[in-house]
Chain A
Amino acid sequence: MNRRLSVFNVTSLVIGFAFLYLPILLLVIYSFNASRLVTVWGGFSTQWYGALFRNEALIDAAWVTLRIALLSATLATILGTLAALALTRYGRFPGRTLFTGMVYAPMVMPEVITGLSLLLFFVAVDFDRGFWTITLAHTTLTMCFVTVVVQSRLMTFDRSLEEAAMDLGAPPLRTFFSVTLPLIAPSIVAGFLLAFTLSMDDLVIASFNAGPGATTLPIKIYSAVRLGLSPEVNAASAILIGIVTLGVISATLLSKRSVLRSRRNAH
Chain B
Amino acid sequence: MRRSFAPWANPDAKPLIRFENVTKRFGESTAVDHLSLNIFEGEFFCLLGPSGCGKTTLMRMLAGFETPTEGTITLGDQNLAGVPPYRRPVNMMFQSYALFPHMSVEKNIAFGLKQDGMPKDQIADRVGEMLRLVQLEKLARRYPSQLSGGQRQRVALARALAKKPKVLLLDEPLGALDKKLREETQFELMDIQHDLHMTFVVVTHDQEEAMTMADRIAVMDHGRIVQVATPGEIYEQPKTRFIAEFVGDVNIIEGHVQGQENGLWRVKTSSAEAPLTIDDPDEVLHSGQPVAIAVRPEKMVIQRDPPGPGAINVLTGEVWDIGYLGDWTVYRVKLANGEILRVTRANASRFVESPIDWDEQVYVTFAPDAAVILAE
Contacts and interface: CB of A to CB of B under 8 A. Distances in A.
B112 A168 contact: yes
10 closest Cβ contacts across the A-B interface?
A168-B112, A169-B115, A164-B98, A160-B98, A166-B85, A266-B142, A166-B86, A160-B94, A167-B92, A182-B102
A9 interface: no
Contacts of B160: 167-168
Given A167-B85, A170-B115, A171-B86, 8 more contacts: A158-B98, A167-B63, A167-B160, A168-B86, A168-B91, A169-B116, A263-B146, A266-B141
A168 to B, nearest CB: 3
A266 B146 contact: yes
B334 interface: no
A263 B86 CA distance: 32
Interface in B103-121: 104, 111-112, 115-116
Q: Is the interface of A mostly helix, strand, loop or mixed?
A: helix
15 contacts: A161-B98, A163-B65, A163-B85, A164-B98, A166-B65, A166-B85, A167-B85, A167-B88, A168-B112, A168-B163, A171-B86, A183-B100, A262-B143, A263-B146, A266-B146
Contact of A169 (B96, B98, B143, B163): B163
A265 interface: yes
Contact of B86 (A160, A167, A183): A167
Give the one of A168, A178, A179, A183 with max B CB within 10 A. Answer: A168
Interface of A: 158, 160-161, 163-172, 174-175, 178-179, 182-183, 262-263, 265-266
A163 B156 CA distance: 13
B293 to A, nearest CB: 44
Interface residues of B, number: 31
B101 interface: yes
Give the one of A163, A182, A265 with max B CB within 10 A. Answer: A163
Contacts of B90: 167
A174 B86 CA distance: 11
B149 interface: no
B91 A171 contact: no
B86 A170 contact: yes
Given A168-B112, A169-B115, A183-B102, A158 B96 contact: yes
Given A160-B96, A161-B98, A167 B146 contact: no
B63 A171 contact: no
Nearest to B60: A163
B115 to A, nearest CB: 3
A29 to B, nearest CB: 44
Contacts of A174: 115
B84 interface: yes
B224 interface: no
A166 B146 contact: no
B163 A164 contact: no
A161 to B, nearest CB: 5
B159 interface: yes
Contacts of A172: 86
Contacts of B146: 263, 266
A259 to B, nearest CB: 10
A172 B115 CA distance: 12
Contacts of A183: 100-102
B111 A168 contact: yes
Given A158-B96, A160-B98, A174-B115, A168 B142 contact: no
A158 B94 CA distance: 11
B92 A164 contact: yes
Given A174-B115, A263-B146, A266-B143, A169 B86 contact: yes
A176 to B, nearest CB: 12
A178 B100 CA distance: 10
A161 B100 contact: yes
A161 B103 CA distance: 12
A168 B141 contact: no
Nearest to A163: B65
A119 B245 CA distance: 72
B226 to A, nearest CB: 28
A134 B87 CA distance: 48
Interface string B160-192: 100100000000000000000000000000000
Contacts of A161: 98, 100-101
Interface in B57-90: 63-65, 84-88, 90
B111 A165 contact: yes
Contact of A167 (B91, B104, B142, B143): B91
